[in-house]
């Protein structure tokens, strides 16, 4: 999968995702995005626990920029995407979107740092993952 490849994962909107404004509560898009990143990692053969045990690393969100363009509502079937746009020594930058059909609802740029599971110090992104995105 090249860095231009876009992974997509579905998310249905339930009552638990909405608020009294009748729309999806703004922090819940961040949850949808974690789900998509996890499932995307899984396509490379790694669960969260597996990556921690086998590679000794975990990705933590260091910063995040979110643009809320249009609201999602109850019962919507959303598509949540993830795409690497940059890889550093110990970081990756991922663009994520939330779409309803062709309509872009939310867009985010998520900067993740690869850290050692024991020391929480930044470490080099493992080659086994790096080669997926180069």
Quick count: other Cβ atoms within 10 Å of Cβ 2? Answer: 9
Q: How far apart are CA 32 and CA 8, in angstroms?
A: 11
Q: Using alpha carbons only, give the angle 68, 69, 75 rounded to the nearest 5 degrees.
A: 85
Residues forming contacts to its own copies in the complex (CB under 8 A) are 12, 14-16, 18-23, 25-28, 30-31, 34-35, 38-39, 47-50, 58, 60-68, 73-75
Query: Least Å distance between CB 60 and its own copies?
Result: 7
Query: Least Å distance between CB 24 and its own copies?
Result: 9
Please state, in angstroms and as integers, the Cα–Cα distance from residue 134 to each residue in 26, 56, 83, following that order: 32, 21, 12
Nearest to its own copies of 4, 118 (CB atom)? 118
Q: How far apart are CA 29 and CA 98, in angstroms?
A: 8
Is 76 tagged catalytic? no
Q: What are phi and psi of 31, to 5 degrees?
A: -65, -45
Nearest to its own copies of 4, 22 (CB atom)? 22
Nearest to its own copies of 14, 131 (CB atom)? 14
Query: Least Å distance between CB 64 and its own copies?
Result: 5
- Residue 130: which residues within 8 A CB-CB, separation 6 or more? 87
Nearest to its own copies of 14, 89 (CB atom)? 14
Catalytic residue among 19, 75, 127, 134: 19
Query: Least Å distance between CB 92 and its own copies?
Result: 15
């Amino acid at each position: 999968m090249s860095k231009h490849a876009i992974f997509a994962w579905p998310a249905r909107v339930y009552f638990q995702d909405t608020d009294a404004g009748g729309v999806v509560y703004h922090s819940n898009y961040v949850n949808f995005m974690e789900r998509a990143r996890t499932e995307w990692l899984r396509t490379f053969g790694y669960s969260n626990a597996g990556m921690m045990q086998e590679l000794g690393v975990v990705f933590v969100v260091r910063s995040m920029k979110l643009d809320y363009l249009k609201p999602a509502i109850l019962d919507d079937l959303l598509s949540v995407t993830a795409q690497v746009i940059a890889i550093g020594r110990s970081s990756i930058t991922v663009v994520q979107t939330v779409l309803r059909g062709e309509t872009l609802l939310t867009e985010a740029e998520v900067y993740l740092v690869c850290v050692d599971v024991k020391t929480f110090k930044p470490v080099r992104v493992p080659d086994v993952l790096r080669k997926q995105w180069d």
